[in-house]
A and B are shown apart, each in its own frame.
Chain A
Amino acid sequence: MNIRYLKIAFVIGICVLLAFLPYLGINPYSLHIYTLIGIYIFLSIGLNIIFGHTGQISLGHAGFFAIGAYTSAILTAQLGISFPVAFVCAGLISLVFGLVVGRACLKLEGAYLAMATIGFNEIVRMVLVHWEGLSGGPAGISKIPNASILGLTFSTTRGKYYLVMVLTILGFICYRNLISSNYGKQFTAIKENALAAQAMGVNTTRMKIIAFGISTLYAGFGGSLYAHLNNYVAPDAFPFSESLTLLLIVVLGGMGNILGPILGSVVLIWVKESLRMLKDYNMLIYGISLMTLMVFAPKGFAGINLSFLWRRISGKN
């Protein structure tokens, strides 16, 4: 009983903190980064559904992220459609691509699935670079209007922060309900043992495609938010390494852990931003730390096992 109240108090505390964060004397750049973290939480919730909970790796989620961002950009900047409609369309179009790719690729497993989805990611990026009539080529699409809902326009950094935070919290609640539902349990069954799940009556192919679809829906929504946060999209923002970033967020936060996307996004984006001051050495150190992390903490922060770490360092097996 006490723990329950403690949990509720904690959640309320976090919400209050998030609500008043822009008024705590934070500079606009930091606030922009917090908004970005919100978008990454959105995206990595998507990846956690298919990868963390269902156990199917995807290294192509930046492709769906890009599809969402470009859909929203084209609809609002070029066709003059309002933000709420564009936001929903971004998710749906990403979902359609997700269902097609999922239907095709989810027969594969492990490293093969990883390679196929990297291929998809590169195809999306190249089409965006070369199909200038649609995507504006390498220069991308600029002057994307600010998001506005029912006459309320989110044009300032503060406004965008609130928009992203509210949508992220809504997205998180849906995600939590999905995972505790019947579907979520079937996802976990597939991850633990696909054959046993099938024997227990889980339609594994259908469930994998559903999980992939929902996951790309989240990626599409995240893309739309990203487009309206920066008012600008270009193919450079969606390279394969972005898919890797999402994968890392999920692994660091703990695969299949509901709070994983939040924990992982906060830590990884913070680390990436702090490494920025190292300039040229930034990515060098990023790469080496990925490798070291996998050697010492293969199960993410949630699974760091100190005694294991100590044995590794001291060389005793």
Chain B
Amino acid sequence: MIAQIFQQITSGIAIGSIYALVGLAFSLTMRAVNAINFAQGDIFMLGAYFGITFLLFLKVPFWLSILATILVVSVIGILFEKVAYKPLYRARLGRAEHHVILIISTIGTGIFLQNAAMLIWGPDALAFPKIFPKEPMNILGMLLPMEYIWVVILAIFFMLTLHYFFQKTRVGKGLRATSQDRETAALMGVNISFADSLTFGLAAAVSAVGGILIAPISFATPTMGLTYGLKGFTAAVVGGLGSVRGAIVGGVLLGILENIVTGFISSTYKDVVSFTILILFLLIRPSGLLLKPAQQKV
């Protein structure tokens, strides 16, 4: 019994760190430009497919394929910003309309990416090659699947890198300044347009890491984006949308909860449980666990 709970929790943390990465991507764009990218899940899907392409078809070593995937997908993310986001940001429209148009434009781009993937890689599920050692590690009589440990380690590594980038580098500081006050940052010499592109690029890179780390857990399918996008968004909302720490806490909590539901109740309704959590959180505590509730501005 305890061994089973322990195993559910470990695999929950592994899948949760992937939700956390996607949630982080949502939080990045939310913080910087106050926009939600509805194609974030499809960018995650591209991460998985490019990962497979480099690993399986081009036989590139794992470390190099992670870097190549990040590079390719962040370029796609930047292109995405230039094509589907920026032209709309400039259009002078009412607030409500602006939201809707952004939603449709990003969903439209998501549909495009999904179907492009279907044409390139085919509609069937593709499996990743074995990347991580399969033998479970034995800790105090409990078996820990090594591949899950690797997923968590790599996720933490990339999150720390991102943290370092934001806290210590000049460009990262510029990005943080932009998200706090665009106009002042511009006056201080931050290139706002570059900052926006970079934000979308970084968000794409973070989701791409999530996509490639899904390897030991799931197959890649062209339509996986919607589910993982919603789960990532749920993770971000549970922790507090816009907060980096929140996305991580929310992702891990969601992953553990989902796995416990799967293990002890039923696997058919695990997605229903996650989406119910999303709706409940949006209703009861939309600011999430870690952020203070926001005041409505008049």
Contact = CB atoms under 8 A, between A and B. Distances in A.
Contacts of B275: 119-120, 122-123
B224 interface: no
B182 to A, nearest CB: 18
Those 5 A-B pairs whose CB atoms lie nearest each other, nearest first: A290-B108, A287-B111, A287-B112, A119-B275, A294-B105
B125 to A, nearest CB: 17
A290 B111 contact: yes
Given A104-B283, A244-B107, A283-B115, A111 B96 contact: no
Nearest to A291: B108
A284 B115 contact: yes
The B interface is mostly helix, strand or loop, or mixed, namely helix
Contact of A290 (B100, B105, B268): B105
Interface in B252-298: 268-269, 271-272, 275-276, 278-279, 282-283, 286, 298
Given A119-B279, A281-B115, 6 more contacts: A105-B279, A122-B230, A195-B298, A282-B115, A283-B111, A291-B83
B105 A295 contact: yes
Nearest to B86: A295
B176 interface: no
A134 B103 CA distance: 34
Interface residues of B, number: 49
B72 to A, nearest CB: 19
Nearest to B278: A119
A198 B60 CA distance: 62
A267 interface: no
Nearest to A59: B103
12 contacts: A57-B100, A111-B35, A114-B99, A115-B278, A116-B278, A116-B282, A116-B283, A248-B104, A280-B118, A282-B115, A291-B108, A293-B108
B101 interface: yes
B36 A111 contact: yes
Interface stretch (B11-19, B87-95, B212-220): B87-95
Contacts of B283: 104-105, 107-108, 116
B112 A55 contact: no
A110 interface: yes
Nearest to B226: A240
B109 interface: yes
Contact of A284 (B104, B112, B226, B279): B112
Given A118-B230, A195-B298, A298-B88, A123 B112 contact: no
Interface in A46-96: 51, 55, 57, 59
A130 interface: yes
B108 A241 contact: no
Contact of B111 (A120, A286, A298): A286
Nearest to B99: A110
A130 B282 CA distance: 25
Contacts of B115: 280-284, 287
B97 A115 contact: no
A244 B39 CA distance: 13
B186 interface: no
Contacts of A110: 95-96, 99
A115 B226 CA distance: 11
A284 B271 contact: no
Contact of B104 (A130, A191, A290): A290
A286 B115 CA distance: 10
Q: Which of the listed residues B118, B119, B230, B272 has the most CB atoms from chain A within 10 Å of its own CB?
A: B272
A63 B83 CA distance: 31
Contacts of B97: 255, 298-299
B78 to A, nearest CB: 16
Contacts of B269: 126, 130
A258 interface: no
A295 B226 CA distance: 23
Interface of A: 51, 55, 57, 59, 104-105, 107-108, 110-112, 114-116, 118-120, 122-123, 126-127, 130, 191, 195, 240-241, 244, 247-248, 251, 255, 280-284, 286-291, 293-295, 298-299, 312, 317
Nearest to B276: A123
A251 B36 CA distance: 19
B233 interface: yes
A108 B286 contact: yes
B271 A126 contact: yes
B33 to A, nearest CB: 12
Q: Which of the listed residues A112, A115, A126, A288 has the most CB atoms from chain B within 10 Å of its own CB?
A: A115
Contacts of A104: 279, 283
B190 to A, nearest CB: 22
Contacts of A255: 97, 100
A120 B104 contact: no
B239 interface: no
B110 interface: yes
B108 A280 contact: no
Interface string B115-129: 110110000000000
Contact of B282 (A115, A281, A289): A115
A86 to B, nearest CB: 27
A110 B101 CA distance: 11
Contact of B91 (A282, A289, A298): A298
Nearest to A114: B103
A168 to B, nearest CB: 25
Contacts of B233: 115
B201 to A, nearest CB: 19
A317 to B, nearest CB: 8
B101 A298 contact: yes
B116 to A, nearest CB: 6
B179 interface: no
